[in-house]
Chain A
């Protein structure tokens, strides 16, 4: 199978070097080629699995239970200022 690696890498927001892309292309083709085995299976009328068990999703009361931990949560951020995340300029 022919996979446009650069397109998929762009969708994934990963900037591959050309040598990485060249190495990945045949690997992905081989993996997808193996996965194409799935087309042998007759799945007509078979519902897709949404959850491994047939159980309802649990619900809880719609009330705030978490406490404000902004500073602790931002400690691992690459860059913050006044409690905000700092990123490169988006709007000129």
Chain B
């Protein structure tokens, strides 16, 4: 049961074979047993979880169950949730309790989900290894000496170790897909503008999107279908976004005639040999299912990381100016004056990586440098988007590795920020272009999970779900679970 998919649990709930309370208890027990080891959750309120489960069982007794009735979902600490802390894993939000729920939290509650707690993450989602969290690093359930990826590392570890069957993450440069890849999960970053950002603590507003991390493609579809809707409270939430039946898209598993683009820039020197081998094997499986592999080029790929770090850091330096020690958050002791209060509170509250990004962004936006950095990066971003548009004239979907390497050892890259930034090399372009991207498990390298990434044109998540479902049906990587936590491998 613990390693069941969300849809398997739903089937049992619908058949009356279990209750939301029993399901919640099972996962609360596992959190109790394993969280100290993994540090995946930074806040758990068992009574609140059980109260939600009881309410769901009562609802089910009287009504037709809602789409996520009684299903546990863990929430990254970046989402504002009432009834408990929301800290974005930063000291600067110590003591903060959100006065409202993020829009997507409201949608999950209305769909009957049971929210099981707040998961660990890199501070303000800035990181690729979950080592910048103010609450300490997270261990990868497949090898606890390794990082789980980031920034949604707590959500990834929690699902991989079956402390919850699903979790919500956010993805600014790969923060859902990269940790999903490194922990053997399915993770989807929807098209920019599909999911409301209201109440999600902002990092880089033109890139941030929320999405699910689950065991199966269908589970990802179940959750995203609930999250996908226009929100008038988010000016970038797109009105009349093209929609489709998300579960039906997963049933359409026919790859015959599907043109899969294989971009040469995503098979580079320096990537792990076994990762390359797993992706090549995966593409062979797709060929055997009737797909055609088409060699393509996305020529500006090598500039994506540089453009991303200008844009994301610039937006972050602006967004994080709200932490002024006036309206919320940490305030230093005995400030001499207003300037001293701002400057000391921010020095005390922000961690090293967050300061690095704020300073990088402030520099890129500063007088005399704006054209060379911010404007230039936004022009390069246009070229990266055009690369994809040109490629999608020839292919239906693009397949790449999600990460060039499997999970690395904790502490291995913390001394060199630039090396850490390069671990997002394959996920960043989809954020810059606003495209949907999904990672799914496709084997192992050094006994650690490897992820296959699918990228589709904007609003065409259905193509991704169909291809990923076909691949999932033909393989059994999604059924593997870490033995150290009661799994099968």
Contacts and interface: CB of A to CB of B under 8 A. Distances in A.
Interface of A: 3, 5, 8-17, 20, 24, 27-28, 30-32, 34-41, 43, 46-53, 55, 57-58, 60, 69, 72-79, 85, 87-90
Contacts of A34: 305-306, 309, 418, 421
Contact of A38 (B95, B363, B373): B373
A46 B305 CA distance: 19
Nearest to A89: B337
- Pairs of residues from A and B, 3 with the lowest C-beta to C-beta distance, nearest first: A52-B434, A48-B378, A15-B343
B306 A37 contact: yes
Interface of B: 95-97, 99, 191-193, 206, 230, 232, 235-239, 300, 302-303, 305-307, 309-310, 317, 321, 324-331, 335-344, 346-347, 350, 352, 355-356, 358-360, 362-364, 366, 372-373, 375-383, 385, 417-418, 421, 432-434, 458
A74 B433 CA distance: 38
B359 A48 contact: no
Given A38-B377, A55-B238, A76-B328, 10 more contacts: A14-B343, A14-B359, A15-B347, A28-B360, A35-B306, A48-B378, A49-B432, A52-B434, A88-B335, A88-B340
A11 B362 contact: yes
A30 B421 CA distance: 12
A77 B329 CA distance: 7
B418 A31 contact: yes
Nearest to B305: A34
A60 B417 CA distance: 43
Given A28-B360, A38-B376, A76-B328, A88 B338 contact: yes
Contact of B99 (A20, A51, A52, A76): A76
Give the residue among A10, A27, A52, A75 with the most B Cβ atoms within 10 A: A52
B307 A38 contact: yes
A48 B330 CA distance: 37
A4 to B, nearest CB: 9
A46 B325 contact: no
Nearest to B346: A14
Nearest to B386: A46
A77 B381 contact: no
A75 B99 contact: yes
Given A53-B434, A58-B239, A77-B328, A8 B359 contact: yes
B211 to A, nearest CB: 15
B331 A78 contact: yes
Given A53-B193, A53-B238, A24 B356 contact: yes
A27 B96 CA distance: 31
A58 to B, nearest CB: 5
A49 B385 CA distance: 9
A41 B99 contact: no
Contact of B96 (A28, A50, A51, A76): A76
